[in-house]
Chain A
C-alpha cells in the first residue's frame, strides 16, 4: 500500500504537464516555422529591392561615364576634322568632370593611338601604338560601347576599360581607363540593418566594390562563395535576381543574400546581411516563446499539482477510511466533501459500513439467541428428566420394593402392582422417545432427509391433506444442522397449513442448486390472514434459515394459497453436475408416491 503512495499523484502531474507543455510547444513550433519563412521571404524581397536599387546605381555610374565619353566627342559633322588640340581640351574637361577616369586615349579610325591623357603620367601625343586588333577598338568601332573586364593596376587598384566610338566616317574611338574604386561611393553608404552591406562582383566572381575596400584592393576572388556560385550558374541577363539563405561571407559567417545582375557589364550586385542579425527579431521572438513555454510549464505544473491534489487527497481519505473499516472501526465515517463522484463513493462506503454494523449487530443477536435457545433446550431436557422421568423411576423403584415384599405374602397384589409398574415403565419409555425426538428427529438418522420427510408427510396425509413431494431420490450427505432446519421448516409449514389454511392440496419441493438447498411448500388454502401472521411459526422458520446464512420467504399466491420458500446454503458442497437434483417446476402429483411401507416401518419403531 505504502509503496504505491504517490504514484497516482506523479502520473497525473506528469500527464497534465506534458499535455500543457506539448500544446504550447506545438503551437510555438508551428508559429516559429511559419514566422521563419515569412520573415525570410520578406527579408529576401527587401534585399532584392535593395540589390536592384544598387545595381541601378552601379549601372548609372557606368552609363554616365559612357555618356560623358560621348560628350567629349566633337560636335556632329566635325569628327573627321577635329584637331588633336580640340580633342585634348575636350578630354581635359572630361577628366575634370569624371574623377574616376584616370586615363583617356584617342585612337584614330585605323586604331592608332593619337592622344593619351593621364592624371598620373605624362600626356603623350601621336604615339601611334596600334590598337586596331584589340577588343576595345573593334567593339567600339562596330558601334557599341565596350565595357572591358576588370583588371588590377599594381595588382591592387581595380580598373576597367570603357571604349566608345564616334559614328561618323573617319572618326576614331575614345578609350578610358576607369578607376572602379569610385564604385565604393555607391556601395559604402548603403546600410542593410546594422551589419548588412552591398558588394559587386564581376562575371568571374572577382570583387569590384565592397564597403571594406581592403578586400577590393586585395583582388579578392569570391567565386567560391555559395551565393556567388549560385548566381553565376545561370546566364547573366539584366534584371536577373535571386535570393539565397545559405550564403557565407568572406569570414565564413552565414548570411542572407540576394543579388541583381547589372548589364552592362554583367556584374552581380549582392546585398547581404548576417543571418544572426537578419533573424535577430525572430530569435528574440523564439526567446519570448521559450520564456512563455517555461512560464506555461510552471503554471501547468502548479495547476496540475493543485488539481491532482484535489483529486488525490479525497482518494487518500477514502483509502485511509476503508483501511480503518477493514481494521474493524465500523463507527468511523469517511469525510469527503468534494461534491463529485468521490463524495458519492465515500457515501457508498459509509452506507456499506452502516450495513456492516447492522449485520454485525444481527449476528451478535443471533448468537445470543442461539445460546439462549440451547440453554432453554437444556433446561427443558433437565426438567423433563428431573421432574418427569426421575420421580417416575424413583416411584418405580419404591413400588418394585413393595412388589418384592408382596410376592410371598400376596402374589395377586404383587402381580397387579407389577402390571401397574409395567404401564408406568412404558410411559417412561414414551417420555424418553418424545424427549429424543424433540432433540433431533430420529428418522433423519435412520432414513435420511428425503425419506424422513416422506414419512412425516404421511402423517399429514392421514389428517386429510393431500401432500405431493418432489425431491431427488438421494442427496449427498448434508450437514446435520441443514438437515434439521430443512426438516423442521417443512414440518412447520405443513403444521401451519393443517392448522390455519384449510387447504386440500399441498406441494412440497426440495432441490439442490447453486451450492444451496432450496425448499418450497405451497398450498391451495386460504392464504395467510393478518391475524395469523404472528405466532404461526413464521419467525421460527425465518430464524432457522437465517441461522445458517440462508433465507426464508412466506408469501401469498395470487391464485390463493400460501407459498413458503427457503434457501439454505451448503458451504463446500459442489453443485450436482448432472442437474438431477434441479427442478425448476414442480413435478406431477404422482411423480413420487409416498412409500407407505416406509411410513409403517417408521411407525413400528
Chain B
C-alpha cells in the first residue's frame, strides 16, 4: 500500500520544469498543513508517529484532496486533441484541473532523448497516476516505475512491448488504450491504393527518433506486398527541415525523381510532430501531387487527401475513465486494455480534385466524412 500509493502528504514540493508547460497548481491549504506537519515529524524524528499516520491514512476521495496526475508525451503541447480529450473526459467524471486534480505535463516536442528525464521527474513527484502518450513515453514510464500506475495510449501492441501480459488482464502497473491496432497502417495503405489505384510506390513519412515508426514500417511490409506496392521510408529530421526531407525522399516535386525512385503516394505514420506540422506536410503533398493518407482527421480537414484512424480525442477521453478508476483505488493490473471500435475515414474531395484524382465510388462509400 505504501509503495503503491505514495503518501501525497509527504510528497516533495511540486517542481516547475523550466521551459515546459506547467499547469499552475496552487496548493490546497489542508495538504500544505499536512506536508508541514509531516516534514516537522521527519525532521525532528520525535514526531515520526504523526508522519506514519499521515503516510498510512486512507487515500482521500478525489474531492477531498487533490489528486496528482503526471502526463508525459512525445508530442508538442497540451493543446493536442489527445489532451483536450483527456481533460474533457476528466471533466465529465468530475475532475477539474486546478480544483480537485493537479495535472503536471511534460512534452518532449520531438526531443525524444529528453523523455527519460521527464519521466523520472514525474516519478519523483510521486503522482497518483502517470498518463503516457507515445511509444517512447510509454517505454520510459515502464522502465521508470513499477509502482506508480501508468495509463498509456499507444499505437503498438502493448503485449508485444511488455506493457501487459494480456489485454484482458494487464497484470502490471500499466493499462490503457491501443488507439491504433497493429495492422492499421497496412489498412491505410490499402485505402490509399483503393483511392488512387495507379500508385505503385508509397513514401512512408517517419522519424527514426519515434521508436514506434520502425515497428510500424516492418508491420506494413506484408500488407504492402499483398497490395503490390513498394514502400519507401522518408525520414523527417526536424520541424524546420520538412521540405528538405521531402526533397531528400524524392517526394518534393513531380520532376525531381531520383533515379526513377520517386514515390507516387504518401503515408504519414502517426507522430505528434507530424501532427503539429500537418499544414506544411499536407501543403507539400499537394505541391508534390502526391495522394496521401494520414491517421488524424485533422490532416484531411486541413488539406490532406485521406485520413483513417481511431479518433484520438475520443480515445483519450476514454483514458480519463482509467484515471478515474485508478484514483478510486482500482489496480491497473485488473483494468483491461481497450481497443478502438470506431474509426473515422475522412476524404477531402477538394484535394482529390486538385490532384486530378477521381476517387472510386466504393471508396467514397466507406467515408465517414467527405470534405467537398
Binding site for B on A (CB under 8 A): 85, 88-89, 92-93, 95-96, 99-100, 102, 118-123, 152, 154-157, 179, 181-182, 213-214, 217-219
Known: A85-B362, A121-B187. A155 touches B166 (CB 8 A): yes
Q: Which of A85, A119, A182, A213 contacts B338 (CB 8 A)?
A: A213
Interface 1/0s, chain B 325-354, versus A by CB < 8 A?
100000000111111011100000000000
Taken together as a complex, chains A and B put the C-alpha atoms of A157 and B363 apart, in Å, by 27
**Across the interface, which residues of A come within 8 angstroms of B183, CB to CB?**
120-122
Pick from B190, B337, B341, B343: contact of A122, CB below 8 A. Answer: B190
Least CB distance, A183 to chain B, in whole angstroms = 11
Q: Given known contacts A85-B362, A89-B361, A122-B186, is B223 in contact with A217 (CB within 8 Å)? A: no
Evaluate whether A99 and B169 lie within 8 angstroms (CB atoms) in the complex, with A89-B361, A156-B336, A214-B336 already known: no
- Establish whether residues A155 and B167, one from each chain, have CB atoms under 8 Å apart when the complex forms: yes
If A85-B362, A92-B366 touch, whether A214 touches B334 (CB-CB below 8 Å) is: yes
In the bound complex, residues from chain A placing their C-beta under 8 Å from that of B166 are: 155-156
Residues of B within 8 A of A214 (CB): 325, 334-336
**Is A182 touching B336 in the complex (CB atoms < 8 A)?**
no
Q: Given A92-B362, A121-B187, A122-B227 in contact, is the A217-B338 Cβ separation under 8 Å?
A: yes
What distance in Å separates the Cβ of A191 from its nearest Cβ neighbour in chain B? Answer: 16
- B146 beta carbon closer than 8 Å to chain A: no
Residue of B nearest to A179 (CB): B341
Chain B contacts for A85, CB-based, 8 A: 362
Kindly provide the distance from the CB of B155 to the nearest chain A CB, expressed in whole angstroms: 13
Q: If the complex has contacts A154-B339, A156-B167, are A89 and B226 also in contact, measured as CB distance less than 8 A?
A: no
Report B's interface with A, CB cutoff 8 A.
166-169, 181, 183-184, 186-187, 190, 223, 226-227, 325, 334-339, 341-343, 361-363, 365-368
For the complex, give the distance between the alpha carbons of A217 and B190 in Å. Answer: 29
A123 touches B190 (CB 8 A): yes
For residue A85, give the distance in angstroms from its CB to the closest CB of chain B: 7
Measured between beta carbons, the chain B residues less than 8 angstroms from A179 are 341
Q: Which residue of A lies closest to B308 (CB)?
A: A119
Shortest Cβ distance from A219 into B: residue = B168
User: What are the residues of chain B within 8 A of A181 when measuring CB–CB?
Assistant: 341
A89 with B365, Cβ < 8 A, contacts A122-B190, A122-B227, A155-B166 known: yes
Q: What is the CB-to-nearest-CB distance from A355 to chain B, in angstroms, rounded to a whole number? A: 84
- Specify which chain A residues have a CB less than 8 angstroms from the CB of B184 in the assembled complex: 120
CA separation between A152 and B183, bound complex, in Å? 19
Nearest-neighbour CB distance to chain B for A361, whole angstroms, equals: 89
Contact A89 B362 (CB under 8 A): yes
- B325: which A residues are within 8 A, CB to CB? 214
Q: CA separation between A93 and B362, bound complex, in Å?
A: 8
Which residue, A89, A179, A219, has most C-beta atoms of chain B within 10 A?
Answer: A89
Question: Do A99 and B341 touch across chains, with their CB atoms under 8 A apart?
Answer: yes
| Chain A residue, CB-CB nearest to B367 | A96
Q: Let me know if B339 and A157 touch, CB within 8 A.
A: yes
Measured between beta carbons, the chain A residues less than 8 angstroms from B337 are: 156, 217
CA A92 – CA B345 in complex, angstroms? 12
Say which residue of A102, A122, A182 sits within 8 Å of B223 (CB atoms): A122
Query: With a CB–CB cut-off of 8 A, which chain A residues contact B363?
Result: 92
Which residue of chain B has its CB nearest to the CB of A152? B168
Closest 8 CB pairs of A and B: A217-B336, A92-B365, A156-B167, A156-B168, A92-B366, A89-B362, A218-B168, A93-B365
Q: A89-B361, A96-B367, A156-B166 are in contact. Are A122 and B226 (CB under 8 A)?
A: yes
State A598–B153 Cα separation when bound (angstroms).
149
A99 to B336, CA, bound (A): 22
B362 touches A218 (CB 8 A): no
CA distance A99 to B187 in the complex (A): 17
Which residues on the B side are within 8 Å of A96 (C-beta)?
365-368
Question: A95, A102, A120: which has the most chain B beta carbons within 10 Å?
Answer: A120
Q: Could you tell me the distance in whole angstroms from the C-beta of B161 to the nearest C-beta in chain A?
A: 14
In whole Å, how far is B238's beta carbon from the nearest beta carbon of chain A? 33
Most buried by A among B168, B325, B342, B363: B168
Q: Which residues of B contact A95 (CB under 8 A)?
A: 366
Instruction: Give the Cβ gap from B364 to chain A, nearest Cβ, in Å.
Output: 9
B residues less than 8 Å from A156 (CB atoms): 166-168, 336-337, 339
Bound CA–CA A337/B337 (angstroms): 88
26 A–B contacts, CB within 8 A, in A order: A92-B366, A96-B367, A118-B187, A120-B183, A120-B187, A121-B186, A121-B187, A122-B183, A122-B190, A122-B226, A122-B227, A152-B168, A154-B339, A155-B166, A155-B167, A156-B166, A157-B167, A179-B341, A213-B336, A214-B325, A214-B335, A217-B167, A217-B336, A218-B168, A218-B334, A219-B168
Per the bound structure, the CA–CA distance linking A155 and B336 in Å amounts to 10
Q: Measured between alpha carbons, how far is A121 from B187 in the docked complex, in Å?
A: 6
A218 to B166, CA, bound (A): 10
Question: Nearest-CB distance from A159 to chain B (Å)?
Answer: 11
Q: Which residues of A contact B227 (CB under 8 A)?
A: 122
- Residues of chain A within 8 A (CB-CB) of B190 are 122-123
Q: How far is the CB of A81 from chain B (nearest CB, A)?
A: 18
A472 and B167 CA atoms in complex are apart in Å by: 128
Closest-by-CB residue of A relative to B366 is A92
Docked Cα-Cα span, A396 to B336, in Å, equals 156
> Which residues of B have CB within 8 Å of A182?
341
Smallest CB-CB separation from A93: which chain B residue?
A: B365
| Measured CA separation A73–B186 after assembly (Å) | 28
Residues on B with beta carbons closer than 8 Å to the beta carbon of A120: 181, 183-184, 187
Q: How far is the CB of A472 from chain B (nearest CB, A)?
A: 107
CA distance A424 to B165 in the complex (A): 160
For residue A121, give the distance in angstroms from its CB to the closest CB of chain B: 6
A156 to B161, CA, bound (A): 18
Distance in angstroms from B216 CB to nearest chain A CB is: 15
Closest Cβ–Cβ distance, residue B221 to chain A (whole Å): 12
Q: Which of B168, B343, B362 is A88 in contact with, Cβ under 8 Å?
A: B362
Q: How far is the CA of A30 from the CA of B94 in the complex (A)?
A: 44
Chain A residue at smallest Cβ distance from B166: A155
CA–CA, A305 and B342, complex, Å: 76
B362 touches A217 (CB 8 A): no
Measured in the bound complex, the distance between the Cα atoms of B325 and A433 in whole Å is 135
Q: Which residues of B contact A89 (CB under 8 A)?
A: 361-362, 365
- Most A CB within 10 A of own CB, among B334, B335, B361, B365: B365
Which chain B residues lie closer than 8 Å to A99 at the CB level? 341-342
Smallest beta-carbon distance A219→chain B, Å: 6
Instruction: Please give, as numbers and ranges, the residues of chain B lying within 8 Å of A92 by CB-CB distance.
Output: 362-363, 365-366
Of chain A, the residue at the smallest CB distance from B368 is A96
In the complex, what distance in Å separates the CA atom of A93 from the CA atom of B365?
A: 5
Residues of the A chain whose Cβ atoms lie less than 8 Å from the Cβ of B169? 218
* Pair A217/B365 contact, Cβ less than 8 Å: no
A122 near B187: Cβ-Cβ < 8 Å: yes
B343/A119 in contact, CB under 8 A: yes
How many angstroms from the CA of A472 to the CA of B166 in the assembled complex?
128
Tell me, in angstroms, the Cα distance from A214 to B338 when the chains sit together: 8
Nearest chain A residue, comparing its CB with the CB of B345: A96
Chain A residue numbers with a CB within 8 Å of B335 are 214
Find out whether the CB atom of B365 lies under 8 angstroms from the CB atom of A155.
Answer: no
Q: Which residues of A contact B341 (CB under 8 A)?
A: 99-100, 102, 179, 181-182
On chain A, the residues within 8 Å of B186 by CB distance are: 121-122
Residue of B with least CB distance to A94: B365
- Cα distance A436–B342 when bound, in Å? 148
Shortest distance from the beta carbon of A182 to any chain B beta carbon, whole Å: 7
Contact of B168 among A100, A102, A217 (CB under 8 A): A217
In the complex, how many angstroms separate the beta carbon of A534 from the nearest chain B beta carbon? 110
The residues of A that contact B366 with a CB separation of less than 8 Å are 92, 95-96
Residues in B whose Cβ lies below 8 Å from that of A218:
168-169, 334, 336
Interchain CB contact under 8 A, A155 and B168: yes
> In the bound complex, what is the Cα–Cα distance between A99 and B341 (angstroms)?
8
A contact residues around B342 at 8 Å (CB): 99
Q: Which residue of B lies closest to A154 (CB)?
A: B167
Counting chain A CB atoms within 10 Å of each CB, which of B187, B335, B336, B367 scores highest?
Answer: B336
